[in-house]
Amino acid sequence: MSRQVDINEKMRGILVDWIIEVHLRFKLLPETLFLTVNLIDRYLQKTQIMRTRLQLVAVSALLIASKYEEIYVPELKDFVFISDNAYSKEEILEMERSILITLEFSITTPSTYRFLQRFAKVAKAKDQLFHLAQYLIELTLIE
């Protein structure tokens, strides 16, 4: 975030909070949420964004993550609607292209959620412990 001129950490936190709400509304997998936040962070690390385009980055990152992780991807019109028609389908697709090119099509990265899944399986953790740990790692997304 230190490279960003027009946005700051607080705006990023608000954006991630909004993405979590969108994620819940679309009933997407937890992997999709963690991948989305990872894509946003890596893109912001490499590219300066104006605050008016920050939500567009998030929606496009969610679209990429959905295509990668989900069996049934929300339609593009749903992403336009969820952004309150602030961006057109073409703008979302253009930002998707920009993110993919900037990240050199490197989408997959290890996530805390995947680590938690594997660790819980090896440790034979009960569901209650797994869900508590999942809650804790979701809280860290905003930071």
Residue-wise pLDDT tens digits, 118-129? 999 999 989 999
Closest among 55, 67, 57 to 29, alpha carbons compared: 67
Residues in Cβ contact with 23 at an 8 Å cutoff, skipping those fewer than 6 apart:
32, 33, 36, 62
Give me the sign of the Cα torsion angle 56, 60, 66, 69: negative
Residue 76 has pLDDT above 90, yes or no: yes
Residue-wise pLDDT tens digits, 78-134? 999 999 999 999 999 999 999 999 999 999 888 888 899 899 999 998 999 999 999
End-to-end CA distance of the chain, in Å? 12
Radius of gyration in angstroms for the set of CA atoms belonging to the chain, rounded to a whole number: 15
Question: Which pLDDT belongs to residue 72?
Answer: 92
Q: How far is CA 96 from CA 9, 64, 76, 83, 92, in A?
A: 22, 7, 11, 15, 6
Give me the sign of the Cα torsion angle 40, 131, 18, 30: positive
**What structural domains does the chain harbor?**
9-107 (1.10.472.10), 110-143 (no CATH)
Residue 57 has pLDDT above 90, yes or no: yes
d(CA 29, CA 36): 11
Residue 75 has pLDDT above 90, yes or no: yes
Question: Which pLDDT belongs to residue 87?
Answer: 94
Residue 1 has pLDDT above 80, yes or no: no
Residue 2 has pLDDT above 80, yes or no: no
- Give yes or no for a contact between 62 and 36, defined as CB atoms under 8 angstroms apart: yes
Residue-wise pLDDT tens digits, 5-48? 888 889 999 999 999 999 999 999 999 999 999 999 999 999 99
Question: Which pLDDT belongs to residue 143?
Answer: 78
